């Protein structure tokens, strides 16, 4: 059942949209600001309820009947898209409405005007589309949108308005998912220039630089050839570790009473970084000591967030599991940098109904699979036994063996709860192996 608050906000927004039909373009702007302010204050559930297919279709109708000019419609939609993507709200409302087809057509038509093209309108259309869509982007749109948004991001003006435009352009680019292929020549030199200029002049906001990294790391799925440049020329690991160190010191701070229940900027930024690192661990193949240092940074964030920021703790464990699956990361790295100990601590603290318990077991399942693969690859048996012994000793330090073995009931419960996500092996030895 929907909350009364959500219904009231929804009625207010539809009332404002209805009022706009009789207003001039200039008179519409304060009402658009009022709607945008309402979206700024929404949590995930409120956003999901209010930003509906019905709302998208209403805006589409107002554009079609010229009851809202395109500039105002884009002002409204771009802000909603910014909020959606900044907080990583999942929403299929835009996709299933009539708006995507209209905006796709407008982008192509504006681009085909060539010399008569309105570049600002083209950029605004591209940003709206990329911020709101939850789907693959066609190659026709990639060819148009990506170069123009990169041009916006290449601007080096330092005034506040220019910085905001740059941040929105990079956020829109970061929403191009990892499964959408972009030819290297269409983005790499430009994004490299943006990164290197920032490293020299510190011209980007913390959010903007993170969005740029997210866009770039997403490309590793199709194009691993740039991994060396990302690691060495652009110093991704060093920059990301430094950010995690700073953020881990802030995340444990208690919120003011009026901020409870809301995500702080630190939490938002940290969640975006963790999502980026998850993809990095999943697809990177290079091995170096800086890369391993990521594990220590993630452990620090996990421990800092454990008491009050359970969603961040969960994302840390999820990311460490991706590291455990990556053959470029040695199991010894996970032990030495404290990952095994930290995840086990989290498992013991988590309640039966806590998804962190489920993710912790998936982490140990991944570790166990790697150890078995070592055996299949004819790894020296003594070395494999030594790794197993070290892991078991860590487990005994954090909690006695009988506590570890008592998790069988948890496995049954968690498998029933998360049946559609992943089925955990029921054999305890698949997680906790003695030498």
The band of 422, judged by pLDDT with boundaries at 50, 70 and 90, is low
> Residue 4, Cβ neighbours under 10 Å: how many?
8
pLDDT at 260: 46
Q: Tell me the C-alpha distance between 180 and 183, whole Å.
A: 10
Confidence at residue 257, expressed as pLDDT on a 0 to 100 scale: 46
Please say if the pLDDT value at position 207 is more than 80: yes
Burial label for 2, CB within 10 Å (0-12, 13-18, 19+), is: exposed
**Mean pLDDT lowest among 287-301, 358-372, 409-423:** 409-423
Residue 250: both structure tokens together:
């802030």
Q: What is the mean pLDDT of residues 107-114?
A: 93
Contacts 24+ apart (CB under 8 A), 200-203: 201/156, 203/156, 203/158
* Percentage, residues of the chain above pLDDT 90: 48
| 60 Cβ contact partners less than 8 Å away, ≥ 6 residues apart | 97, 98, 99, 102
Task: Give tens-digit pLDDT for 241-284.
Answer: 889 888 888 876 555 544 545 578 888 999 999 999 999 999 88
- Rounded to an integer, the average pLDDT of 408-414 is 57
Long-range CB contacts (< 8 A, 24+ apart) of 142-149?
Answer: 142/176, 142/180, 142/182, 142/186, 143/186, 144/107, 144/108, 144/111, 145/107, 145/172, 146/173, 146/176, 146/182, 146/186, 146/187, 147/186, 147/190, 148/119, 148/122, 148/123, 149/123, 149/173
Give long-range contacts, CB 8 A cutoff, 24+ apart: 283-288: 283/178, 283/220, 283/221, 283/224, 284/220, 284/224, 284/227, 284/231, 284/326, 284/328, 285/224, 285/227, 285/328, 286/227, 286/228, 286/231, 286/328, 287/328, 287/329, 288/231, 288/237
Cβ atoms of 283 and 221 within 8 Å: the answer is yes
Q: Residue 117: left if φ>0, alpha if ψ -120 to 50, beta else—which one?
A: beta
Structure tokens at 8: 């009231």
CA neighbours closer than 13 Å in the CB half-sphere of residue 101? 7
- Nearest Cα neighbor of 194 from 222, 178, 223, 214 is 214
Q: Check if the beta carbon of residue 414 is closer than 8 Å to that of residue 361.
A: yes
Per-residue tokens: 171: 């956020």
Residues 6+ positions from 405 with CB-CB distance below 8 Å: 428, 432
**113 contacts 124 by C-beta, under 8 angstroms:** no
| C-alpha triplet 95, 97, 103: angle, nearest 5° | 75
Mean pLDDT of 411-431: 54
Rounded Cα gap, residues 304 and 311, in angstroms? 12
Q: What pLDDT does 312 receive?
A: 92
**pLDDT reading at 426 higher than 50:** no
Q: CA 303 to CA 103: how far, in whole Å?
A: 45
Span 49-76, average pLDDT = 96
pLDDT at 147: 95
Would you say residue 51 has pLDDT above 90?
A: yes
Mean pLDDT of the chain: 84
**Of 51 and 417, which is predicted with more confidence?**
51
pLDDT at 400: 44
Pair 104, 132: CB distance under 8 Å: no
- Is 175 or 381 the better-scoring residue by pLDDT? 175
Confidence bin at 434 (pLDDT 50/70/90):
very low
The answer to whether residue 352 scores a pLDDT higher than 70 is no
Q: What is the pLDDT of residue 21?
A: 92
355 versus 67: which is more confidently predicted? 67
User: CA 93, CA 104: separation in Å to the nearest integer?
Assistant: 16
What percent of the chain is predicted at pLDDT more than 70? 83
pLDDT at residue 413 greater than cutoff 80 = no
pLDDT band of 310, cuts 50, 70, 90: confident
* pLDDT at residue number 435: 39
- Ranges 49-63, 69-83, 160-174, 232-246: which has the least confidence: 232-246
Whole-number pLDDT of residue 165 = 93
pLDDT in tens, 383-404: 667 777 777 677 666 654 544 4
Tokens of residue 44, six digits: 């995930």
Residue whose pair of structure tokens reads 């949590």 in the numeric block: 43
Among candidate residues 267, 325, 329, the one with its CA nearest the CA of residue 294: 329
CB count within 10 Å of CB 331 equals: 21
Most confident by average pLDDT, 27-36, 111-120, 241-250, 394-403:
27-36
Which two three-digit tokens encode residue 414? Answer: 């968690």
Cβ atoms of 88 and 264 closer than 8 Å: no
**Degrees, nearest 5: CA angle 330-319-299:** 75
């Amino acid at each position: 059942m929907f909350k009364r608050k959500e219904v009231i906000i929804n009625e207010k927004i539809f009332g404002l949209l209805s009022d706009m039909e009789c207003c001039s373009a200039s008179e519409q702007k304060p009402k658009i600001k009022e709607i945008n302010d309402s979206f700024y204050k929404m949590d995930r559930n409120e956003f999901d309820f209010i930003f509906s297919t019905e709302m998208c279709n209403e805006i589409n109708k107002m554009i079609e009947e010229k009851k809202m000019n395109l500039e105002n419609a884009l002002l409204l939609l771009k802000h909603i898209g910014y909020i959606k993507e900044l907080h990583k709200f999942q929403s299929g409302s835009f996709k299933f409405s009539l708006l995507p087809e209209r905006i796709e057509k407008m982008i192509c038509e504006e681009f085909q005007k060539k010399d008569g093209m309105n570049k600002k309108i083209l950029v605004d259309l591209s940003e709206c589309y990329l911020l709101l869509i939850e789907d693959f982007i066609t190659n026709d749109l990639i060819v148009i949108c990506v170069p123009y948004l990169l041009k916006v991001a290449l601007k080096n003006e330092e005034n506040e308005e220019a910085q905001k435009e740059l941040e929105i352009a990079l956020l829109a680019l970061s929403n191009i998912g990892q499964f959408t292929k972009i030819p290297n020549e269409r983005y790499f030199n430009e994004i490299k220039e943006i990164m290197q200029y920032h490293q020299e002049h510190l011209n980007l906001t913390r959010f903007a630089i993170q969005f740029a990294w997210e866009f770039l790391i997403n490309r590793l799925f199709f194009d691993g050839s740039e991994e060396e440049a990302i690691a060495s020329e652009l110093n991704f690991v060093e920059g990301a570790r430094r950010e995690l160190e700073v953020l881990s010191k802030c995340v444990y701070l208690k919120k003011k009473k009026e901020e409870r229940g809301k995500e702080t900027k630190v939490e938002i930024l940290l969640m975006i970084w963790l999502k980026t690192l998850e993809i990095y661990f999943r697809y990177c193949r290079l091995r170096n000591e800086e890369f391993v240092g990521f594990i220590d940074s993630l452990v620090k964030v996990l421990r800092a967030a454990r008491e009050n920021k359970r969603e961040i703790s969960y994302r840390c464990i999820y990311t460490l599991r991706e590291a455990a699956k990556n053959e470029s990361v040695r199991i010894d790295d996970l032990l030495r940098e404290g990952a095994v100990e930290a995840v086990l601590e989290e498992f013991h603290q988590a309640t039966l109904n806590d998804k962190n318990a489920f993710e912790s077991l998936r982490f140990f399942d991944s570790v166990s699979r790697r150890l078995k693969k070592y055996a299949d690859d004819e790894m020296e048996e003594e070395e494999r036994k030594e790794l197993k012994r070290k892991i078991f000793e860590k487990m005994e330090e954090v909690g006695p063996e009988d506590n570890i073995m008592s998790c069988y009931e948890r496995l049954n419960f968690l498998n029933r709860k998360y049946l559609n996500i992943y089925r955990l092996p029921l054999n305890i030895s698949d997680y906790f192996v003695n030498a």
